Amino acid sequence: MFKKILIANRGEIACRVIKTAKRLGIATVAVYSEADRDARHVALADEAVCIGPAPSRESYLRGDKIIAACKSTGAQAVHPGYGFLSENADFARRVEEEGIVFIGPKHYSISAMGDKIASKKLAIEAKVNTIPGWNAAIESPEQAVSIAKDIGYPVMIKASAGGGGKGLRVAWDDKEAFEGYTSCRNEAKASFGDDRVFIEKYVESPRHIEIQVLGDAHGNMVYLQERECSIQRRHQKVIEEAPSPFISEATRRAMGEQAVQLARAVKYQSAGTVEFVVGKDQSFYFLEMNTRLQVEHPVTESITGIDLVEQMLRVAAGEPLPFTQAEIPRRGWAIECRINAEDPFRGFLPSTGRLVRYQPPVQTMEAALPMPWRLDDAGAVVEGGGVRVDTGVYEGGEIPMHYDSMIAKLVVHGTDRLDAIARMREALNAFVIRGVSSNIPFQAALLAHPKFISGDFNTGFIAEHYAQGFRAEDVPHDDPDFLVALAAAVYRRHLERAAGITGQLAGHGVVIGERFVVVVKGQGGEHRHVPVSIRAEGGTHIEVAGRPYAIANDWQFGGIRFSGSCNGRDFTAQVERQGLWYRISHNGCVIEAQVMSERAAELLRVMPFKAPADMSRFLLSPMPGLLVDIAVQPGQWVHVGERLAVIEAMKMENILTAAREGTVAELLAAKGESLAVDQPILSFR
């Protein structure tokens, strides 16, 4: 086994690899950019080496600097994590040539699977099911239309070197095939420097299901069950689970065996993933092979108890796999939610800045010890379930604009799927993130959706059910009055504290009544007034619209997480006091409420509404980010749709265009400036 390894990555995956290395007694070296000097993975590693400025192309993508860091620190091997150089065959080859071990597959395996056209040919030779299509580069849009007609619409036009949803179009007729070919080719050229495009049959109502494989240098090859990854937004996975709620045991076995056949065909050594698209009739077709550790690997670890990073290390060190296919278990159910720094209510725009509060839920599993169950004498799961958080951040740290938006991966394990869903909903309720926006409300809405709960979904689920984007009203609560009761309970605690202050003037101290009104904030001053009664006798007893809510809790002043029981059922919510208002959130639903006397509520009804300032004359930054370009000047007339400015955040360029015609009055921000959300960039006359 290695004595020292270098992790050529950052964020949560670097921290994840370090955990297993420490458990195995292996020293670790972190690399970091100037923007990551204070990052968590740097603090966790035994040594750290700065490899360049913030942009990835000048740091984490510089293979020469990473190899130099290995030599200067004496690291014997490199773990690439995922992303960056993890699937770069040239980097893997250079590492091997320098006498350093690449903790991953051999460079020839990466190369064979890195090209979609070549990998499909290999899959056909290995007798793996492949989607009907034209498996060669297409030379013209006319040829694309002809091929699409022969295959039969709908078809998928794909860039050979594509990934992340770039260079991909679905065509339903000749016109879309003609235009889609040109668009895919242009995108592929710009994004990957490779404009080859091919066409294959589009599988309707498709599910994205992938098989985890493991191979060693001794010819052993196994599959570790499957992962269901169909909940995606713009081809990016949002929720993953293992096993899949859709496929049968026969399909599971057939997919696993074909994945192993493909891995054998390329002499695969390490952890890898064979991705399949699965039709509604359980027909399945090879999509691609990811020759690295996947973001969603923790759900596989949770149902098998196998530490995949440990196995990667052992295989790279020359050890054989310690188990056979028959010895790999599948116990319980695991779900992973990707917690990202993005604002779901603003079109999922990136959100950067300082994590003012970061309090993950209590963890009962961890990355290097994925064992969330106990078995009885008969081998049945009698006590399952747990919560795991893989992260690369900490409270007070920064979410930089230069890299991806992931804050953490929240993983739960349950005895079955419904148990896992319930555990995930509670874990999301307990996850406190402040300072940046997160997609937790969106995750909570997905988990509560009847179609998700029933397992009736495919890769078009989010596009179908959230076609107009994600709005607050898309997060219904099964008992809205429960949130009102929570506001009343917290208000009662504040009243009790006020009544207990010493030195109050006799006859004028705080007197706690029983009848109040909870005012729930609405749009345009249209608030909802809810009469409540509050009694505190052996707990807090609240009545809302004739319904009793007996609330017991251990909430402390200044805390955000609010845990307790209501009518005997445990719950976790989040409560914050913002001026006179309470912000209450539970199961993704958020309300702002103010609790007052009946007379005060009566007076509030006749108070005039103060409309917010009119900002229509200004171009506002929709997200925190770097202003990389301003395309207009004062006095310039602009037309609808004309480019005004470009903001860069988390590896994405966002172009701001004119929503109406007008004349630019003044530039209020300068090129190169870091912008806050809603910061004015320019004004119009």
CB distance 620 to 681 below 8 Å: yes
Token reading at 260 = 């192993």
Q: What is the spatial distance between Cα 205 and Cα 459, in angstroms, rounded to a whole number?
A: 7
| Beta strand spans in 41-105 (E) | 47-50, 77-79, 101-102
Q: Is the pLDDT of residue 536 over 90?
A: no
Q: What are phi and psi of 140, to 5 degrees?
A: -155, 160
CB distance 381 to 375 below 8 Å: yes
pLDDT digits (tens, 9 = 90+) for 347-374: 888 888 899 999 999 998 887 675 655 5
User: Based on the number of CB atoms within 10 Å of its own CB, is 505 exposed (0-12), middle (13-18) or buried (19 or more)?
Assistant: exposed
**Beta pairing partners, 569:** 566
Q: What is the spatial distance between Cα 663 and Cα 634, in angstroms, rounded to a whole number?
A: 8
Torsion of CA 22, 239, 8, 32, to 10 degrees: -90
3-state secondary structure of 250: helix
CB distance 548 to 542 below 8 Å: yes
pLDDT digits (tens, 9 = 90+) for 374-400: 556 776 655 667 899 999 999 999 888
**Which run of H or E residues covers position 229?**
strand 221-233
Token reading at 127 = 């007798």
CB distance 545 to 518 below 8 Å: no
Which among 416, 346, 343, 432 is positioned nearest to 380, based on CA atoms?
Answer: 416
Distance of CA 531 to the CA centre of its chain: 40
pLDDT at position 68 is 97
Mean pLDDT over 641-669 rounds to 87
Token reading at 595 = 């609790």
Looking up tokens 């395996």 gives: 109
Q: How far is CA 417 from CA 225, 303, 370, 413, in A?
A: 16, 12, 18, 9
CB distance 384 to 376 below 8 Å: no
331 Cβ partners below 8 Å, 6+ apart? Answer: 303, 304, 305, 373, 381, 384
Q: What is the spatial distance between Cα 230 and Cα 212, in angstroms, rounded to a whole number?
A: 16
pLDDT at position 299 is 96
pLDDT at position 165 is 64
Q: For residue 8, what pLDDT band results from cuts at 50, 70 and 90?
A: very high
Q: Is the pLDDT of residue 239 over 60?
A: yes
Catalytic residues: 288
Q: What is the spatial distance between Cα 334 and Cα 303, in angstroms, rounded to a whole number?
A: 7
Query: pTM value?
Result: 0.86
pLDDT at position 371 is 61
Mean pLDDT, the chain, rounded, equals 91
Domains of the chain and CATH, by start: 4-103 (3.40.50.20), 132-201 (3.30.1490.20), 207-464 (3.30.470.20), 480-500+512-604 (3.30.700.30), 618-684 (2.40.50.100)
pLDDT at position 558 is 87
pLDDT digits (tens, 9 = 90+) for 206-227: 999 999 999 999 999 999 999 9
Lowest mean pLDDT among 180-184, 187-191, 247-251, 282-286: 187-191
Lowest mean pLDDT among 191-205, 320-334, 423-437, 491-505: 191-205
CB distance 483 to 591 below 8 Å: yes
pLDDT at position 447 is 96
pLDDT digits (tens, 9 = 90+) for 613-623: 888 899 999 88
pLDDT at position 375 is 59
Lowest mean pLDDT among 151-165, 268-282, 314-328, 553-567: 151-165
What angle is formed at CA 619 by the lines to CA 617 and CA 621, rounded to 5 degrees? 145
**DSSP helix, strand, coil percent of the chain (3-state; round to 5):** 30, 35, 40
Q: How far is CA 445 from CA 286, 336, 421, 466, in A?
A: 31, 15, 12, 11
Looking up tokens 């007996």 gives: 550
Q: Is the pLDDT of residue 138 over 80?
A: yes
Which among 348, 368, 239 is positioned nearest to 296, based on CA atoms?
Answer: 239
Q: What is the spatial distance between Cα 53 and Cα 173, in angstroms, rounded to a whole number?
A: 47
Helix axes 417-430, 440-448, angle to 10 degrees: 150
Q: Is the pLDDT of residue 659 over 70?
A: yes
Q: How far is CA 606 from CA 222, 269, 597, 626, 643, in A?
A: 71, 73, 15, 44, 45
Mean pLDDT over 629-634 rounds to 93
Mean pLDDT over 227-253 rounds to 95
Q: Is the pLDDT of residue 301 over 90?
A: yes
Q: For residue 421, what pLDDT band results from cuts at 50, 70 and 90?
A: very high
pLDDT at position 134 is 82
Which among 484, 414, 425 is positioned nearest to 449, based on CA atoms?
Answer: 425
Q: What is the spatial distance between Cα 532 and Cα 518, in angstroms, rounded to a whole number?
A: 7
Token reading at 171 = 């065509």
504 Cβ partners below 8 Å, 6+ apart? Answer: 510
Neighbours of 635 (CB within 10 A): 10
Mean pLDDT over 419-437 rounds to 95
Mean pLDDT over 614-634 rounds to 90
pLDDT at position 380 is 61
Q: For residue 294, what pLDDT band results from cuts at 50, 70 and 90?
A: very high
pLDDT digits (tens, 9 = 90+) for 53-90: 998 999 999 999 999 999 999 999 999 999 899 999 99
Q: Is the pLDDT of residue 257 over 70?
A: yes
Q: For residue 624, what pLDDT band results from cuts at 50, 70 and 90?
A: confident
pLDDT at position 384 is 62
CA-based torsion, 301, 80, 626, 163: positive or negative: negative
Percent of the chain with pLDDT over 70: 96
Q: What is the spatial distance between Cα 249 and Cα 557, in angstroms, rounded to a whole number?
A: 52
Mean pLDDT over 31-53 rounds to 96
Which among 10, 163, 164, 24 is positioned nearest to 79, based on CA atoms?
Answer: 10
pLDDT at position 446 is 96
pLDDT at position 49 is 98
